[in-house]
Amino acid sequence: MPLIKNRYGKGRVRVMRIHRDGDRHEVSQLSIKAMMEGDFARAYTHGDNSTSVSTDTIKNVVNIVARENTGLSTEEFCQVLAKKYLDTYPQIASVAITSHETKWSRLNIGGKPHPHSFVRDSNGKPTVDVTAIRGGASTLASGIDGFAFMKSTESGWENYVKDRYTTIPPTADRMCATSMVATWKWSGKPQNYPATNAKILDTLLEVFSTTYSMSVQDSLYRMGEAALAAVSEISEISMACPNMHFILMNLSAFGMDNNNDVFLPTDEPHGQIECTVGRR
């Protein structure tokens, strides 16, 4: 039986970097997955480990690169990490690095940013994906996973297909909420990755917040257009948005009306809206 494809590596390598600039510290907590492809087939087919790099070694390299690069942005760190594997092990043909970041926001004490105290920001995890191929082009994408946002009005769902299976009524005034997974591909290097990522997210949220939504599909496309217009260094943006539903409660049994005031929150089952917007 032929071995069609194989890869291996190390997942959930947790690392916290602290970059010290005098009294001011910057922190970066990452969970890294590093996957390798290359000359490893005989480990599967012949029990020959002579070309295999231990997954524990793969983990150690993450920590070594972290120690040597405390001040790099996550995008730059992942690129340096991928290069380290290729430079160190000639039997590796390609490496894929995936990073999820746990965000820590600087505390303000007495109206001033504290130099080394932080609170965890649990809304969404920044992501980075790097693919580096020996002798070939590398790719870099950034994004956010599980970023929740909502608006309580200025959203509707009308003029859709209606048949004998349709039960949902049309509305021009509904809540709209989602927990978004978004990624954007870099075609150029920005002056500052974190600042540019923040600009992309701010642009998406501004369009969502300040314009009427004919549907989640309508909003996603216009959000993607705006992000591409705002940041020239990205070539495309992909968004996946599961609906977080808020079902209007029927309070008539209690002699009460409910004019979009009280809802039942639920996310199962949910609509799953996805799109990719790119440059022509």
19 given a catalytic annotation: no
Continuous segment of H or E residues that includes residue 251? none
Q: Could you identify the residue written with the tokens 């071995």?
A: 3
Domain membership of residue 183 (yes or no) is: yes
Residue 75 to residues 28, 78, 79, 131, 242, Cα–Cα distance (Å):
12, 5, 6, 12, 26
Domain of 196 in residue numbering reads as 146-278
What pLDDT, on the 0 to 100 scale, is given for residue 70? Answer: 95
Could you tell me the CATH number of the domain that includes residue 270?
Answer: 3.10.270.10
In this structure, are 65 and 178 located in the same domain?
no
The model's pLDDT over 4-34, given as tens digits with 9 standing for 90+, comes to 999 999 999 999 999 999 999 999 999 999 9
46 given a catalytic annotation: no
**156 neighbors 173 (Cβ within 8 angstroms):** yes
217: nearest Cα among 247, 178, 190, 246: 178
DSSP states of 22-35: TTEEEEEEEEEEEE
Does residue 43 surpass a pLDDT of 80? Answer: yes
The model's pLDDT over 175-193, given as tens digits with 9 standing for 90+, comes to 899 999 999 999 999 999 9
Does residue 67 surpass a pLDDT of 90? Answer: yes
In this structure, are 150 and 253 located in the same domain?
yes
- Which of 59, 84, 125, 245 is catalytic? The answer is 245
In this structure, are 18 and 130 located in the same domain?
yes
pTM of the predicted model, to two decimals?
Answer: 0.91
In this structure, are 91 and 165 located in the same domain?
no
Does residue 260 surpass a pLDDT of 90? Answer: no
Contact partners, residue 58, CB within 8 Å, separation at least 6 = 9, 10, 13, 34, 36, 85
The pLDDT of 46-50, averaged and rounded, is 96
Please, which pLDDT band fits residue 152 given cuts at 50, 70 and 90?
confident
- Which of 55, 70, 102, 131 is catalytic? The answer is 55
- Considering 87, 102, 137, which residue would you say is the last residue of a domain? 137
Q: How far apart are CA 119 and CA 110, in angstroms?
A: 15
131 given a catalytic annotation: no
